[in-house]
Amino acid sequence: MQLDEAMHAALAAAGLPGAALSPPIGGVVSPIHRAVENHCCLATGEGSDPVFVKRRHDDMAAFITPEHVAEASGKAGELDIAPRLLHADLASGILVFEALGAEWAWGHIDVLRRPAILENLLMAKRAFNKAAPLSETRSVFDLVADYRRLADAPDVILPAPVLTVAAAAVQIAAAIAAAGIDTVPCHSDGASSNVMVGPGNTVRLVDFEWARQADPAHDLGTVLAELLPFDGEALLAIEIATGKADARMLARARLYGAADDLMWALWGFISAARSPRKHVEFFKYAEWRLLRARTVVEGPHFETWLRKV
């Protein structure tokens, strides 16, 4: 296969000629979002530890830039909050990482809500905020606009509530811009499966496909939207992350969470229409993310949060 040949070439460049490839990790987007953007597998060379290899799927080319992924992944690995990037073949979009052992498991919402693990997750995100600036600078609002343009075609089915949430996202963007924004490197991905949990409640962040310079409240917002739907527990998480249970930060994070959910909903609707991988339930995932965004923008606190940011 052409893909296997490209992977073997990348592995040889990484010092693992002739490495054996495992079967690919099955891509699934619902109920867990895992191995969807990339073809993922393990590779083992003679006398060496396994490595993790991934290559962007062709149908994700409109969304993912390998150079940006490699840059963010490399910086996160250097901070010891993510697996180390061992080799990047940017021409083929193949990245080779150190592989985490069998003692590490994909994150699940019930596990990530545990206080010790949640604190470690928030601290890992904060550590990445202190990395050197990233090249990708588009905000979540920029991506929503970009994805709306991609979706502006007869083949993409957009449910009517997309228009309502998109109009609310314009209000959110204006309110946050008026309040001012300082950007830092952000993981910008709240999916629970993009957190690995290991011994002693340790965590590692994975999948930096959407990492970029962003408002740190956006990073918080993705975590709160995924894990903490109730504001009392969300304020406790904000206190862990920032040192203060700040109602303004809660408002800003909740609004960012809604914009992020809209972005992913658009991604899902576009992918449902155009990806050849029809076994992946992109549309179902998109409807869920859209529903989650609607709970914010159609909820009782929306106008109050707009005023608080």
3-class DSSP assignment, residue 117: helix
Distance CA 8, CA 140 (A): 35
Q: What is the pLDDT of residues 200-231, one digit of tens each?
A: 999 999 999 999 999 999 999 999 999 999 99
Q: Strand order in 20-21's β-sheet?
A: 20-21, 38-44, 51-56, 94-98, 85-89
C-alpha–C-alpha distance, residues 305 and 300, integer Å: 10
pLDDT tens per residue across span 161-172: 999 999 999 999
Question: How does pLDDT run across 175-208, given as a tens digit for each residue?
Answer: 999 999 999 999 999 999 999 999 999 999 999 9
Average pLDDT over the chain reads: 95
In this structure, how many other beta carbons lie within 10 angstroms of the beta carbon of residue 230?
Answer: 8
CA separation, residue 32 to residues 108, 212, 226, 285 (Å)? 9, 23, 12, 9
Structure tokens that stand for 98 in this block: 């150190």
Task: Give the model's confidence band at 1: pLDDT under 50 very low, under 70 low, under 90 confident, else very high.
Answer: low
The phi, psi pair for 32, rounded to 5°, reads -120, 140
pLDDT at 27: 86
> What are 212's strand-pairing partners?
186
User: What torsion, rounded to 10 degrees, do the Cα atoms 161, 146, 258, 165 define?
Assistant: -20
Q: What is the pTM of this model?
A: 0.95
The pLDDT of residue 26 = 85
> Domains in the chain and their CATH numbers?
1-98 (3.30.200.20), 105-308 (3.90.1200.10)
Judge contact between 191 and 260, C-beta under 8 A: no
Per the DSSP assignment, residues forming a β-bridge with 41 are 53
Measuring CA to CA, how many Å separate 30 from each of 33, 42, 288, 289? 6, 23, 9, 11
| Residue indicated by tokens 């970009």 | 146
Q: How far is CA 300 from CA 51, 97, 163, 303, in A?
A: 48, 44, 19, 8
Tokens matching residue 148:
């709306």
Check residue 29 and give its pLDDT.
86
